[in-house]
């Protein structure tokens, strides 16, 4: 892996220095990542040099835009190990999951099996589908260490299960789920497997073939790319089980006054003018990560996570959520300081050390209720974060703990 110092030079936001001289320390990567200049320049170049629509015209500029868009698709498909025709461009992970939830031709009595550790984006769409289509929603629990109870999930999946929907990595616990094993359970029962890879695709090598999933969703903005672009992998053949929920130009090959014929994959799921600039920017992000190596990104984040857990364990009154082994979690740590609200911890870290962390429920309210807490503080890492930044995190937390942690 390139040195972290040289990587940091590629991220303009990291050059921000506050009036008190403290540089920005960005530990909110689970929410969204920073963007390297290579991505910013790719988007800018598209708008300045080739701002035409795609799949619409034969003139040169439109053909160039179409080539850029489809080359981006092919590049991102290679990144996750699928064919270009299996990769659908969407706005984000949320839209991808909703596309599946409202596109499957449900029958009354069908079941969806998920887990209690899901982000709301992989929970609410199934709840609404349950209301609309009279399907049943079931949840597998977690173990005391924050890992998924695979036995519980296996018992829930049965002959009525149409779909299993799980996160690859939890955005609160950091837990990395054994998707390959879950795929076996789903497929043994004739069910499809959808994977929410929002927290894994940016941070570790992903192969949809190795995972053996049928559907996989991720967002570009967490992967160094622009906002408003994401991807849905649809395994070849599975598209016949999902009817496009959005209709319009670009997703049909023939239209009559009283009928239509869908386009081939993946365009049948891409109604209307797509986010061409977003696709170009996401392809540039994939180029950037590929040049560094996803194995290297993963190893770097494991070191940061291990050190973060060591720091938190040094401080009295800190409760950490999720597995303690960095091998079993992605690059984030959620915690609470006894007697101090998460929002106050986050505000003080920002005020005193210019450290950006997330506090609150992280779009996972049911999980926090199961953990027995009102909210949590989350520090999440990426390839540009350093051990020195974690030392500033340590100083800030120790100071907060000393001043406020024993007031109860």
The Cα 263–Cα 381 span in angstroms is: 40
**Two tokens at 402?**
């000393």
The Cα 272–Cα 403 span in angstroms is: 55
Which one is catalytic: 50, 167, 231, 363?
363
Q: What share of the chain is helix, strand, coil (3-state, %, to 5)?
A: 45, 20, 40
The residues near 97 (Cβ < 8 Å, ≥ 6 apart) are 121, 122, 125, 165, 194, 196, 217
The Cα 16–Cα 33 span in angstroms is: 16
The Cα 77–Cα 60 span in angstroms is: 26
**Two tokens at 249?**
């130009």
Q: What is the DSSP string of 142-177?
A: B-TTS-B-HHHHHHH--TTEEEEEEESB-TTT-BBP
Extended strands (E) in 273-357: 318-321, 332-337, 355-356
Sign of the Cα torsion 6, 12, 332, 173 reads negative
With both helix axes pointing from N to C terminus, report the angle between 276-292 and 294-314 in degrees, rounded to the nearest 10: 80
82 is catalytic: no
Phi-psi category of residue 237: left, alpha or beta, with phi > 0 → left and psi -120 to 50 → alpha: left
C-alpha torsion 350→13→220→209, nearest 10: -90
The Cα 305–Cα 284 span in angstroms is: 27
Q: What residues are annotated to the active site? A: 363
């Amino acid at each position: 892996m390139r040195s972290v110092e040289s990587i940091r030079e590629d991220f303009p936001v990291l050059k921000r220095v506050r009036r008190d001289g403290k540089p920005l320390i960005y530990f909110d990567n689970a929410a969204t990542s920073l963007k390297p200049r290579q991505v910013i320049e790719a988007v800018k170049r598209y708008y300045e040099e080739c701002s035409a629509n795609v799949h619409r015209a034969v003139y040169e500029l439109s053909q160039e835009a179409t080539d850029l868009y489809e080359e981006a698709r092919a590049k991102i498909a290679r990144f996750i190990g699928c064919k270009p025709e299996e990769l659908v461009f969407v706005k984000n992970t949320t839209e991808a999951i909703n596309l599946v939830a409202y596109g499957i031709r449900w029958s009354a009595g069908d079941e969806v099996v998920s887990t209690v550790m899901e982000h709301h984006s992989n929970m609410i769409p199934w709840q609404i589908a349950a209301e609309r289509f009279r399907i049943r929603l079931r949840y597998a629990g977690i173990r005391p260490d924050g890992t998924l109870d695979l036995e519980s999930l296996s018992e829930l999946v049965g002959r009525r299960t149409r779909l299993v929907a799980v996160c690859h990595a939890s955005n609160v616990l950091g837990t990395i789920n054994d998707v390959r094993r879950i795929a076996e359970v789903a497929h043994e029962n004739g069910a499809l497997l959808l994977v929410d890879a929002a927290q894994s695709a940016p941070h570790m090598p992903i192969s949809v073939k190795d995972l053996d999933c049928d559907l996989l969703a991720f967002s570009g903005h967490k992967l160094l790319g622009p906002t408003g672009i994401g991807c849905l992998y649809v395994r070849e053949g599975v598209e016949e089980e999902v009817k496009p929920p959005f209709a319009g130009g670009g997703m049909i090959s023939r239209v009559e006054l009283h009928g239509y014929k869908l386009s081939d994959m993946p365009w049948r799921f891409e109604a209307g003018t797509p986010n061409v600039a977003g696709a170009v920017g996401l392809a540039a992000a994939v180029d950037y990560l590929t040049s560094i190596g996803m194995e290297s990104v993963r190893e770097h984040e494991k070191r940061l996570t291990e050190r973060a857990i060591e720091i938190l364990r040094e401080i009295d009154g800190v409760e950490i959520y999720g597995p303690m082994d960095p091998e079993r979690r992605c690059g984030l740590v959620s915690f609470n300081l006894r007697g101090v609200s998460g929002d106050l911890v986050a505000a003080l870290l920002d005020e005193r050390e210019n450290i950006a962390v997330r506090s609150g429920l992280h779009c996972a309210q049911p999980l926090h209720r199961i953990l027995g807490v009102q909210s949590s503080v989350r520090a999440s890492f990426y390839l540009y974060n350093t051990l020195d930044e974690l030392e500033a995190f340590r100083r800030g937390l120790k100071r907060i703990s000393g001043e406020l942690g024993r007031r109860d």
